[in-house]
Amino acid sequence: MNMDKQCTDDGKNTLKRILELSFRISVYAPPIKPFLRFSKHADTLYKGKTNSYKHFFWDFDDALQGVLLGMAHTVATPAEIAEACIERWKINLAKIYQRSKRQLEELRKNGEVPQFRYTPRDEFIFSRVEPGSRLLYAGCGTGTQCLGWAQRGYEVIGIDTDEQLVGIANERAEYLKLPFQAVCMDAHNIGFSSGSFDGFLLEFYGFQPSPVQALALQRGLASAMNDNGKGFIVATRKKYASFWNGMSNLGYPESMIHWLTNQRRLDHYFSQMDACEEKLCFGLYIRSHTVDSLSRELGGVFDVQECMYEEHDQRYLISVVKRKDRFSDSPSTSENDNSEDWTKQEYLQREGPSIEDVLYEIHAICDLLELHKERVERFFLNGEVSGGKTPLSMVDTDLPRFIELLEHTYGMRPFRS
C-alpha cells in the first residue's frame, strides 16, 4: 500500500473525528455550563485563577473547539478542512431533509399552500432590491426562503452542494408553481455566466478555512452579478457565535430551553466580546467578524455600501455590496490584520501529548456531556422545576469528574494558538 496515501487517509479519518467531536460539544455543552459556573462544585473553580484559566472553564465549549481546530489545522490543509465541512454539513442537514419531505407530502395530500413568513433580513433586502429582479441565493437548502422570495415577486436561483436538498427544493417549487429553481453547485465554483444576476444573498461568509477560498468565493459572486446589482453578505459575530442560539433545533424541552437561554448573556465574560477569529461549531469551520474586519476583507472585490450588526438577530452582521470594475487578486488586509495567515504555525504541535491522546480525552468529555444533558432533560420532563427546585440542586451529577477531565485537557493546550 502507498504510505503517502495511507497517511492521507489517516489524516482524513482524524479530521472526521475532530468534526464529530465539535458537533457533540455544540449539541451537549449548554446544559452543563450553568453547573460549571454556579453550582457548589464550582465554588473554588474561579477564585485566584488566571484569566486564561477562568476563560477556559467559563466558556469551555469555545475553548475545546479551539483545541479541536488546532488539531484540524495540524492534520489537514484548508482545502481538506473545507471539503470535510461540506460532508459534515450534509450530515447535519439530514434531519431537515426528512422533515421537509414529510411537510411536502402533507401539503400535496391536503392540497394546501404554505404561508411564508418574512424575516427582518428579508425585508431589509426587499427594501434595496426591486421586485422582478433575478436573485442568486447561495446555500438555498430546501428552498423555503427562496420560495418566499419568489412569492414576493422575485426570480430566484438557489445553489447548494447537497443533492437531496436541491431535489426537495425543486419539488416544492414545482408544486407551488413559483419562479424558483435550485441547482446543485458549490458557491466556491459558480458556473453562471458573467452578469447573470441583479443581486445575491450569501449567509455563510466566514465558513471558508483560508483567505484563498474566501477570495475565490467573493470573485465568483461578484462575477455573477451585473454592474448595477447588490449583494448581501452575512457573517457571524464572536460575541453571539455561541451554542445557545440554536437550542430550539436540538429537541430540548421548552422549559429547559428557557432556563438555558438566560445564560447566553454570560458567554465570553472573561474574553474579548467581539473579534475576528476562527473557531469550530457544530462540526463546521467558522470565522467570526466585526464590522471593520468584514468591510476590510470584502473591500478588495466589492464596493461596501453598508455594513452593520443586525438589530433583529445579534448573532450576525450584514454587508451590502456592489461589484468593482476590477477585482483585487489578494485578500484585503491592513498592517494590523493577520487575516492573510489564518492558519498560523502556532497550531502545530511539536512536543507534548499526541493528537490521539487529546482526542481520547475530549471524547470522554463528550460522553459526560451527553450523559449530563440527559439527566437535566429528565429533570425538566419530570416537572421537578414546578416544585421550586432548580437543576443546580441535582445530586446525580458527574461534575467533579467533568472538572477533572477539563483540568487535564487544560494542560494539553499546545494545539491552541
Q: What grid cell was written down for 39? A: 453550582
- Cell, residue 138: 447561495
Per-residue CA distances from 196 to 120, 153, 155, 201, 216 (Å): 26, 18, 12, 14, 18
Q: How many CB atoms lie within 10 A of CB 273?
A: 11
In one letter, which amino acid is 9?
D
Q: Model's pTM, two decimal places?
A: 0.86
Question: What per-residue confidence (pLDDT) applies to 328?
Answer: 58
Beta bridge partners of 199: 135, 230
Domain spans, the chain = 12-93+358-415, 96-238+274-339
- 116-138 per-residue burial string, b: 16 or more CB within 10 A, e: under 16: beeeebbebbbeebeeebbbbbb
Contacts with 93 (C-beta within 8 Å, 6 or more apart), sequence order: 141, 162, 165
Question: In which band, very low, low, confident or very high, does the pLDDT at 376 lie, cut at 50, 70 and 90?
Answer: very high
Percent of the chain with pLDDT strictly greater than 90: 56
Find out whether 81 and 285 touch, Cβ atoms under 8 Å. Answer: yes
The domain made up of 96-238+274-339 is a member of CATH 3.10.105.10: no
- For 166-196, what is each residue's pLDDT tens digit? 999 999 999 999 999 999 998 888 989 999 9
Helices (H), 225-286: 254-261
Secondary structure (3-state) at 199: strand
User: Do 338 and 344 contact (CB within 8 A), yes or no?
Assistant: yes
Distances in whole angstroms, Cα of residue 307 to Cα of each of 148, 288, 293, 303: 25, 14, 10, 11
**125-144, pLDDT tens digit by residue?**
999 999 999 999 999 989 99
- List of residues 6+ apart from 276 with CB closer than 8 A: 238, 287, 288, 289, 290, 293, 337, 339
Q: How far apart are CA 238 and CA 314, in angstroms?
A: 10
Residues 265-282: pLDDT tens digits? 788 888 777 788 888 999
